[in-house]
Amino acid sequence: MNAATDAVTDALRDLHSRFAGIDDGELADYIPQLALVDPEAFGLALISMDGHRYGAGDAGVPFTIQSVSKPFVYALALSVLGIDEVSRWVNAEPSGEAFNAISLELGTGRPDNPMVNAGAILTTALIPDTPGAPRFGRILDCLSRFAGRMLDVDEQVYFSEVVAGDRNRALAYLIRSTGPLPVDPVAAVETYFRQCSVRVTAMDLAAMAATLANGGVNPLTGDTVVTEPVAVRVLAVMATCGMYDASGDWLLRVGLPAKSGVSGGLIAAGPARFGLASYSPLLDPTGTSVRGHRAIGALSERLGLHLMHNPALAGSTVTLVTTADDLPSAPKAERERARRERVAVVAAQGALDFTAAERVLYALDEADSREAVAVVLDLLRVTDVGTVARAMLRSGFAGLTAGGRRTAVVDPAGRLREPGDEVVAPWCFATREEAVAWCIREPGG
């Protein structure tokens, strides 16, 4: 039944079997309950921007979210307070230190970033707490919307964190003593422990990562969990700080915004492509899952997901640069006329952004330099024109017209039109034939 998409699942299964044999690393034991899990558990999950779900191994096994909660609570804080207010309290600089280090800015006491514990405790404390909407209720609701289902708390892990939480309590008191902490340290840490104890599966984490990759819209539910600018900022902080003191090496080799947690969860987001997640509780010394690191690294390489790697450039934007007399489908008389008149035709396809618009403009100049009298731009197969691209194409056309060219656009969907104007270039046509015919008609004829 899934004969075709099985190829995607097979790729995940392949990675799963490649790395399942690795048993390097240690279970986190500073939170006693975390040391009780099955060290062999290993799951991989991938969710596309269309909400297609793929899993291998233990993708449905529950575990606590731990530090993977941090980017999502940061997203909530940004949504409620805005970037300027949040930045007053917590910085966005990589600390180059371990997750539980005393990463506080000299002088201000501001935590270095929201991905280390100090910054995460502060970020949690920034979430408003009102009788109608208590702080933790808001956080659980937000994490659940990112996952696309109602999540709950593993009370045993929560109590275990409370028992073992002296270092986090110390951090909260330290922040309070050196600088900013808007609430009581005990309350801040208590909520932070609960947030870390929220139960998820690798498939849930893939949905959460996919929501960030998808501009804040959950691809499973269609719910706009956060706005696009918020999603973009969270991904930026994940890219620079998400892997603590291993963030630089991770960006170098894997090249994706990511976040790890000490229970063995790991997420990575391929913007506009995929949400990825893994679960395997054996950790390296930075607190990152060993198998997860290897598997997501391999997946990124296999799928060409590195952010700096040719960012999803559409293959071809310009599908045709020619003169109308080269068009074999045109009637003979029209081709004769076109030969005399030299009508150049440029056809484009797909979604036009800045990059694509530059290609189209270059092709228009190329067509124009064929000593054309008239230039036709065919947008019939264009699916979208962004605001920036529209402005560029309009001004490019204005330039051609000012240079004495007749110009026409095949734009039945009115993609170049702006509110308040009827037509774009001198004329807008529904078909290429009409546009060419108009161009070769004798002036005034």
Ligand X SMILES: NC(=O)CC[C@H](N)C(=O)O
Q: Which residue numbers are catalytic?
A: 67, 70, 192, 244, 262
Contact call for residue 99 and ligand X (CB under 6 A): yes
Is residue 279 a known part of a binding site? no
Nearer to ligand X, 195 or 300 (CB): 195
Q: How many residues are recorded in the chain?
A: 445
Taking the C-alpha atoms of residue 222 and residue 234, their distance in angstroms, rounded to an integer, is: 19
Alpha helices in 151-201 (DSSP H): 155-164, 166-178, 185-196
Contact call for residue 261 and ligand X (CB under 6 A): yes
Contact call for residue 188 and ligand X (CB under 6 A): no
Nearer to ligand X, 261 or 281 (CB): 261
Nearer to ligand X, 36 or 312 (CB): 36
> For the window 20-59, what string marks contact with ligand X as x by the rule CB under 6 A?
----------------------------------------
Contact call for residue 217 and ligand X (CB under 6 A): no
Nearer to ligand X, 146 or 429 (CB): 146
Taking the C-alpha atoms of residue 323 and residue 339, their distance in angstroms, rounded to an integer, is: 8
Contact call for residue 218 and ligand X (CB under 6 A): no
Contact call for residue 123 and ligand X (CB under 6 A): no
Is residue 2 a known part of a binding site? no
Task: State the minimum distance, in angstroms, from the CB of residue 1 to ligand X.
Answer: 38
DSSP-derived secondary structure letter, 47 = E
Q: Residues binding ligand X: what is the number (CB under 6 A)?
A: 11
Between residue 131 and residue 160, which ones bind ligand X under the rule CB under 6 A? none
Taking the C-alpha atoms of residue 357 and residue 348, their distance in angstroms, rounded to an integer, is: 9
Closest CA relative to residue 317, chosen from 365, 355, 364, 273: 355
Contact call for residue 168 and ligand X (CB under 6 A): yes
| Segment (H or E) for 295 | helix 290-303
DSSP strand pairing (63-64 vs 198-200): antiparallel
Residue found under tokens 């799963």: 16
Name residues whose C-beta falls within 8 Å of residue 28's C-beta, 6 or more positions apart in sequence. Answer: 34, 35, 262, 263, 264, 281, 283, 287
Q: Which residues bind ligand X (CB under 6 A)?
A: 66-67, 99-100, 117, 161, 168, 196, 261-262, 287
